[in-house]
Structure formats: structure tokens, C-alpha cells
């Protein structure tokens, strides 16, 4: 039996598809401003001991420095293993993708962590909550300003371990997450990373993949939006944090795609892929 491969869409059609998918994905985190349970500054909150909070934790982990490299490697392998390209093209594409994405992702994360976050110095919502409730004897036992005046993130995490005792109503996974996430709040690195990956790999998929594996790339914006929603559900980020982080990631993802496309065109003697035509073998 023959193997049917569909032709890739024209570049203009690929751009239209990308816009139709990514524009709603970038806009959806705006719901965190108005939906109770998604906005950590509105009540009611999601139960931090319940299954939704635990699910949010695992979604957030997929967009963390532990989860993102695994997703990136899997998506890169899916891209370069498509039929119809040479071994050299596979190797060059994989190398260029890994280097370009690592540089832009790492650069964006460094800029957020060491420049933007310290410049704005906005406390995380959960730290504000711990510093203010209950009013007669706040859990944090100090103000948010005093907490962030501790020497570094390790010192803050160590201190949180002493006040977030097992008696405090948090699922153990959420408790671990609060203790680990003690940097400033704005913008969200998880949202940045997830949206960058979603746009970059979806753009690459639309430009290079013509078989059934393309459906995996269509799932990426859904995953990225879920990562954005997970941050305010866990009360470690505000709606502004995730919206700005997601917008940053979208811009970085487009930059990564344009960079990879230009580098591949320079390194390979012919375009990395040709529109796949129907191929039949007896």
C-alpha cells in the first residue's frame, strides 16, 4: 500500500493558521483578571489541598526548568524525524533548533530573573497573603518587604519551611512549590517559556511537517494556556505576571522561528524541506 503525504501549506497560509491559533492563546490568560479562582486577589480561591491545585502543580512543572528541556527535546525529535529529508538535514536542523532556542530561552529567563524582576520588585500573591492573614497573627510573621529583604532565594525558602508547617492547609506538592518559588513575581517565567515554545514549535510544525504528527503541534497552545492558568491558580503569580510573561514568550518564539529559518537557509544548500507531494510505492 502507498503512503500518502499531504503538501505543506503555502507560507502565507501557514502564517494565517499560526495567527488564528496563537492570537486567542495569547489573549486567553486575560481571563485570569475576571474569573474567581483564577485571580489570586479575588475570592473564592481554589482549594490548595484539592485535586485542581495538584493538577495545576503538575501543569506548572511541565513549564518549569525541569519540564521545558524534555518537551523541547521531544518536539525537536518529532520535527527532524519527519520523512523526506536527509540525515544531514536532520542533524543540522536539530543543532540549530537546540542552540537557537536555548540561547533565546536562557537569555529571556536571565533578563526576567536578573533585570526585570529586581527592577519592579513585586511580591508574589501568596507571600502577600501569608504576610497579611490571619490579621491577628499573620503566618509569615513579617511583612512582604522584610521577607524579600532576606539575603537570597535560598534564605527565603529556608525561612518559609519554618512557617509553612504541615498543619498549614496546603497539599504537600503545593507547599513544596511555595517554598521553592521565592523570587519576585513580575513577569512569569513559566508563562514566558510555555508561550515561546508553543509559538516556535507550532510555527516550525506548520512550515515543515505534512503528516499526521502535526496534531501534536496544534496541542501546544492549549498546553501553554494551561501553564499560564496554573500560576494564578497556585497563587504564585498575578494575572499581569502571566499576561506579560506570555506576551514576552510569544515575541521570543517568533524571533526564534525567524532566526532558525534564516540560519537553516544559510547552512543548507537547499531549503530544509520541500512541499511534500503524494508518494506511492507498490
Residues 172-205 pLDDT 10s: 999 999 999 999 999 999 999 999 999 999 999 9
Domain residue spans in the chain?
A: 11-39+70-114+189-265
Q: Is the pLDDT of residue 115 over 60?
A: yes
Across 97-115, average pLDDT: 95
Please provide the DSSP assignment of 94-136 as one string: HHHHHHHHHHHHHHHHHHIIIIIHHHH-PPPHHHHHHHHSSTT
**Across residues 253-257, what is the average pLDDT?**
96
pLDDT exceeds cutoff 60 at 4: no
Q: How confident is the model at residue 209 (pLDDT cuts 50, 70, 90)?
A: confident
Give the percent of the chain with pLDDT over 90: 78
- 123 has pLDDT over 80: yes
Confidence of residue 126 (pLDDT cuts 50, 70, 90): very high
> What local confidence, expressed as pLDDT, does residue 15 receive?
85
Task: Please report the pLDDT score of residue 8 as a whole number.
Answer: 59
Which has the higher per-residue pLDDT, 167 or 58?
Answer: 58
Partners of residue 39 on adjacent β-strands: 36
C-alpha–C-alpha distance, residues 7 and 274, integer Å: 9
Treating both helix axes as pointing N-terminal to C-terminal, what angle do 220-233 and 189-208 enclose, rounded to 10 degrees? 170
Whether residue 274 is predicted with pLDDT greater than 50 in this model: the reply is no
Amino acid at each position: 500500500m502507498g503512503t500518502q503525504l499531504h503538501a505543506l501549506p503555502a507560507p502565507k497560509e501557514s502564517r494565517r493558521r499560526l495567527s488564528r491559533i496563537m492570537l486567542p492563546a495569547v489573549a486567553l490568560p486575560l481571563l485570569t483578571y475576571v474569573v474567581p479562582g483564577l485571580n489570586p486577589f479575588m475570592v473564592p480561591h481554589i482549594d490548595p489541598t484539592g485535586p485542581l491545585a495538584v493538577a495545576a502543580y503538575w501543569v506548572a512543572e511541565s513549564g518549569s526548568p525541569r519540564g521545558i528541556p524534555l518537551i523541547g527535546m521531544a518536539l525537536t525529535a518529532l520535527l527532524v524525524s519527519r520523512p523526506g529529508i536527509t540525515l544531514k538535514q536532520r542533524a543540522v536542523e536539530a543543532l540549530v533548533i537546540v542552540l537557537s532556542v536555548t540561547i533565546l530561552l536562557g537569555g529571556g529567563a536571565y533578563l526576567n530573573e536578573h533585570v526585570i524582576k529586581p527592577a519592579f520588585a513585586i511580591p508574589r500573591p501568596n507571600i502577600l497573603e501569608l504576610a497579611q492573614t490571619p490579621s491577628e497573627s499573620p503566618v509569615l510573621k513579617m511583612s512582604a518587604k522584610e521577607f524579600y529583604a532576606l539575603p537570597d532565594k535560598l534564605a527565603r525558602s529556608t525561612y518559609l519551611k519554618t512557617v509553612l508547617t504541615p498543619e498549614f492547609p496546603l497539599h504537600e506538592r503545593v507547599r513544596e512549590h511555595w517554598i521553592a518559588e521565592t523570587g519576585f513575581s513580575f513577569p512569569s517565567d513559566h508563562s514566558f517559556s510555555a508561550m515561546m515554545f508553543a509559538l516556535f514549535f507550532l510555527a516550525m510544525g506548520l512550515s515543515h511537517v505534512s503528516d499526521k504528527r502535526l496534531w501534536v503541534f496544534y496541542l501546544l497552545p492549549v498546553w501553554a494556556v494551561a501553564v499560564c492558568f496554573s500560576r494564578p491558580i497556585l497563587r504564585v503569580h498575578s494575572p499581569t505576571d502571566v499576561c506579560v510573561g506570555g506576551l514576552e514568550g510569544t515575541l521570543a518564539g517568533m524571533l526564534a522561528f525567524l532566526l532558525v529559518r534564516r540560519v537553516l537557509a544559510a547552512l543548507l544548500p537547499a531549503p530544509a524541506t520541500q512541499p511534500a507531494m503524494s508518494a506511492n510505492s507498490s
